[in-house]
Structure 1
Amino acid sequence: MTEPVRAAAKTTAGLAATSEAMQGIISASNNGRFRVAPDAGNELIRIFEDFQNTALRTIRSDMYTLKTRTPLGDSPAGQAIADFNAEVAAGCDGRSYEELITKLQEQVPQVVEAIRKGIEDYQDVDEGNATDIGAQD
């Protein structure tokens, strides 16, 4: 197994879990159920933007290497492995490496916006609580 194939197989499960977590933040924010303190929210934004600008670019590069038909000869086993590698990289079943990477790239701006909304919601609640406390004095 080539190094990019190992990387893809190892990374796919983690990327799928990341995608699900990101979708959870987006959904919770859309339903008004996500609030986050500014310091924590800004750190999350930095992490997701770094993920998009660094990790996803590296992963996409690995994916292009994986999509290149693996030269394993004309034996049936070699052909089967080469076909499998290409299918893992660019299959059309909604679970391919390429489709997962594309989905993550689309989700990062959405999750960043959801976190920004969560910061605003947190601040609104915090200010409301401060006003309520001030009114009790």
Structure 2
Amino acid sequence: MKEPIGAAADATVGLAATSDAMQGIISAANSGRFRVTQEAGDELIRIFLDFQDALGSMRRDGRQLSHRTSLGDSPAGKTISDFNQQVAAGWDGRSYEEMLVQMHERVPQVIEAIKKGVRTYREIDEGNTEFGVPT
């Protein structure tokens, strides 16, 4: 399969980068390297819940893209139709749909990681207070 070009590549690369960043939060929280205040954690959780909703819409759009768009026989119509299929198919065996499903499944893990980051922050903050370290 040909590699996607232009906006198709940007969309797929952007999704892959977002997925990698989500995994980074999870990994950092699991190793105790992710700490966040309650207020910031609450805001991050809200953002990821909104993102999860948006992923549902993106998946519906992706399913529509995966079908050949009937735009006529003109060169522009064929180009747009090919582009839509290319965006849906992705590259390197990772389709747009697969990446969206993966991120949708990962959001609850990210939320748990954020909660863990809040707990870690709180424990460190309480430990500092206990030893007289100003916070």
TM-score surpassing 0.5? Answer: yes
Deviation at 1:74, TM superposition (A): 7.4
State the partner residue of 1:36: 36
Question: Superposition pairs for residues 36-115 of structure 1, below 5 Å?
Answer: 36-53=36-53, 55-71=54-70, 85-86=84-85, 88-90=87-89, 93-115=92-114
Q: Write the distance in 2 (CA, Å) between the matches of 1:8 and 1:52.
A: 22
- CA distance in 2 between counterparts of 1:94 and 1:35 reads 35
Structure 1 runs, 4 residues or longer, greater than 3 Å off: 6-11, 72-75, 77-88, 90-94
| Partner deviation per Cα, 1:30-85 (whole Å, 9 max, x = no partner) | 111111111001100000011102x112211210110112235679x987875664
SS of 1:95's partner is coil
RMSD: 2.9
What residue number does 1:122 align with?
121
Q: 89-98 or 17-26: which moved more?
A: 89-98
For 2:132, what is the secondary structure of its paired residue? Answer: helix
**Structure 1 pair 65/8, CA: closer, same or farther in 2 (3 Å)?**
farther
1:15 and 1:100 in contact (8 A); partners too? yes
- The answer to which structure has the higher helix fraction is 1
| Deviation for aligned residue 1:92 | 7.9
Q: Is the 8 A contact 1:37 1:119 kept in 2?
A: yes
TM-score by length of 1: 0.76
Is the Cα–Cα contact under 8 Å of residues 90 and 99 in structure 1 kept in the other structure?
no
Identity, in percent, stands at 61
* Structure 2 unpaired stretches of 5+: 1-5
One-letter code aligned to 1:50: D
